[in-house]
């Protein structure tokens, strides 16, 4: 579907130079007596590389819509990660390279959104937050009174998260999947 470049918004997917790109930022530029432009930062869906491009305001851009399905992560087998559609029970397998940083948040039974383009899976979107158990961290110092000092904590998926001094091995953390940042400690049952 062709749309004017002035209608581009962050988060949209476009077909640019025969590849899929996700728009990260959009800035409209209207310099004095020149024609308006749309400056964009884009990330290639397949490779993850970022690029910047300046579209003229009269340019048409090919917007792509994806088919999204909710799926459940089931298990890992070597470099392959297996997901199951929660409605049809159909299973698919995606490799570590295609998933990228998302593998650091995948726990069995986690519900994710899988993006399909032309019936092929192209990416996975995890929930905004996930709860991960700390498997290794330095013990907290009782004499440390500075509250903004962070220490590294390794979670059950291998993700290393900077955490406050009071977090200990065995604690469950709530982690933001967009930034990989510690949000809070979760009370475990």
Total of domains in the chain: 3
Question: Distance (Å, rounded) from C-alpha 63 to C-alpha 2?
Answer: 6
Same domain, 100 and 113: yes
Question: Distance (Å, rounded) from C-alpha 122 to C-alpha 156?
Answer: 26
Same domain, 80 and 104: yes
How many other C-beta atoms are found inside a 10 Å radius of the C-beta of residue 175?
Answer: 22
- Which pLDDT score, from 0 to 100, does residue 146 have? 61
Residues spanned by the domain of 9: 2-64
pLDDT in tens, 79-114: 999 999 989 999 999 888 778 788 899 999 999 999
Q: Could you tell me how many residues make up the chain? A: 189
Question: Distance (Å, rounded) from C-alpha 107 to C-alpha 129?
Answer: 12
- CATH number for the domain harbouring residue 24: 2.30.30.30
Same domain, 121 and 135: no
Same domain, 180 and 155: yes
pLDDT in tens, 125-165: 889 999 999 999 988 766 656 667 789 999 999 999 999 88
Domain boundary among 125, 144, 175: 125
Same domain, 76 and 101: yes
Same domain, 60 and 9: yes
């Amino acid at each position: 579907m062709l749309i004017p470049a002035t209608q581009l918004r962050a988060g949209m997917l476009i077909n640019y130079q025969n590849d899929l790109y996700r728009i990260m930022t959009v800035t409209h530029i209207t310099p004095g007596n020149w024609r308006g432009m749309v400056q964009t930062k884009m990330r290639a869906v397949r490779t993850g590389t970022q690029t910047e491009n300046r579209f003229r305001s009269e340019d048409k851009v090919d917007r792509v819509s994806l088919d999204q399905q909710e799926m459940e992560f089931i298990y890992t087998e070597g470099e392959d990660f297996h997901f199951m559609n929660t409605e049809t029970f159909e299973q698919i397998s995606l490799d570590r390279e295609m998933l990228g940083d998302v593998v650091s948040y995948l726990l069995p039974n986690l519900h994710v959104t899988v993006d399909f383009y032309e019936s092929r899976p192209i990416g996975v979107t995890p929930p905004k937050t996930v709860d991960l158990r700390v498997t290794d961290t330095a013990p907290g110092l009782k004499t440390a009174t500075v509250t903004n000092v962070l220490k590294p904590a390794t979670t059950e998926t291998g993700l290393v998260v900077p955490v406050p001094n009071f977090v200990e091995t065995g604690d469950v953390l709530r982690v933001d999947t967009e930034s990989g940042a510690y949000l809070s400690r979760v009370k475990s049952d």
